Amino acid sequence: MSPRLINRSPDLRRLRDEGYDVEVRSGHVLVKDVPYWTASKELKRGTLVSELTLAGDVTTAPSTHVAMFIGEYPCHKDGSAIIQIANQSARRELAPNLVIDHTFSSKPTTGAYRDYHEKMATYATIISSHTGLTARTFPVVVPDADEDCVLNYIDTASSRAGINVVSKKLEVGRIGIIGLGGTGSYVLDLVAKTPVREIYLFDGDSFLQHNAFRSPGATSVDDLRRHLNKAVFFCELYSRMRRGIVAHDHYIDASNVGELAGLAFVFLCLDRGGPKKLIIEKLEELGIPFVDVGMGVPEVEGSLLGILRITTSTPQHRDHVRDKSRIPFSDGDESNEYSTNIQISDLNALNAALAVVKWKKLFGFYVDLEKEHHSTYTIDGNLLTNEDLL
């Protein structure tokens, strides 16, 4: 299979994105798992085959309307042959690893197929429509072994939406997430699904039972009993999906703050003011942009109030972070509305989502007209405010 060729050819990519099991082999395109009835009224699956006409490393219009098939001759449910596509039935070797059993002919009304999507989807529909099943099986698609891709399987969501070019703007070198509590773990969940090259995780704490209730996914009892470090736990979890995740199983302090050098962006997701001040000063020294998140959720008369905060700092705008109402640097300050430690998973997820949206704005994925560097979301009234505009 050649995902690279498929990715470069819009018609083959469309087939794949629509769920067809597409393979390029020995100069031919194959669509596998096409359901059909046999003459003995058995339900089987076969493979459609077509010549593949290329212009360099992308497809052009098919050179013929004829298609081929691997399997028994397709029939109606009653076992009678589908004669509308009949051409020749003879076993023939197209290549050492490619042998076909039948040749079909179904010319479109226009006289020729525009592309391989139209050709292969048409034949697949003609054959499978009698079964009530579909050839759109949505197989797992993995990149070529030598392809420079950080994901363990291809991002077909971006491809289906037609935003691959936009998504490539997030192929930045290295992102840091400092603090993997409720909000930080959701930040990781969202960032891990982008093509960012590396994700550095920093946290010296263990992943314990209470953490499972404010983190994405469903943690097993066995995993909880392992008492793994948070960075190690999440590195192991998200490495199932992608490469380039690096766990730092310690807190950032004066002895190791230099590890932040080389990061392209940082998400600050910790609530301790002392270490945060040290980290921010180092990030400013290194010229690294960052987003700091915070949430204050007090209980009032049996219900919860809450404010979420997303404060952005870039080399173009940093002075506002010194304002106490923006990023607090003290610990246990009762006057600080973000100092309460009530954590709710939906608020953690929302705080993380707002932070990741801002990161994507900074790197051109989303339009950023106001260029706000400080936002708050208030639960009561669903109020979202933007301040510190650039």
Q: What contacts 186, CB < 8 A, 6 or more positions away?
A: 215, 216, 348, 349, 351, 352, 353
- CA contacts within 13 A on the Cβ side of 3: 18
Q: What distance in Å separates the CA atoms of residue 216 and residue 276, rounded to the nearest whole number?
A: 24
Domain with CATH 3.40.50.720 in the chain: 156-389
The two three-digit tokens of residue 277, written as one number: 């001040």
Between the CA atoms of 351, 201, 223 and 272, what dihedral angle is there, to the nearest 10 degrees? -60
Q: What is the pLDDT of residues 166-221, one digit of tens each?
A: 999 999 889 999 999 999 999 999 999 999 999 999 999 999 999 999 999 999 99
Class of domain 156-389 (CATH, top level): alpha beta
Q: What distance in Å separates the CA atoms of residue 18 and residue 156, rounded to the nearest whole number?
A: 10
The one-letter amino acid code at 275 reads: P
Q: Counting every residue, how long is the chain?
A: 390
| Nearest CA-CA partner of 66 in 47, 86, 46, 83 | 86
Q: What is the pLDDT of residues 5-58, one digit of tens each?
A: 888 899 999 999 999 999 999 999 999 999 999 999 999 999 999 999 999 889
**SS3 at position 214:** helix
Pairing of strands 307-313, 28-37: unpaired
| Nearest CA-CA partner of 346 in 251, 237, 197, 214 | 214
Q: Residue 126 belongs to what H/E stretch?
A: helix 116-128
The one-letter amino acid code at 321 reads: V
pTM for this predicted structure: 0.87
pLDDT by residue, tens only, the chain of 390 residues: 467 788 889 999 999 999 999 999 999 999 999 999 999 999 999 999 999 999 988 999 999 999 999 999 999 999 999 999 999 999 999 999 999 999 999 999 999 999 999 999 999 999 999 999 999 999 998 887 767 889 999 888 888 888 988 999 999 889 999 999 999 999 999 999 999 999 999 999 999 999 999 999 999 999 999 999 999 999 999 999 999 999 999 999 999 999 999 999 999 999 877 889 999 999 999 999 999 999 989 888 999 999 999 999 999 999 898 776 788 876 655 444 444 568 899 999 999 999 999 999 999 999 999 999 999 999 999 999 999 998
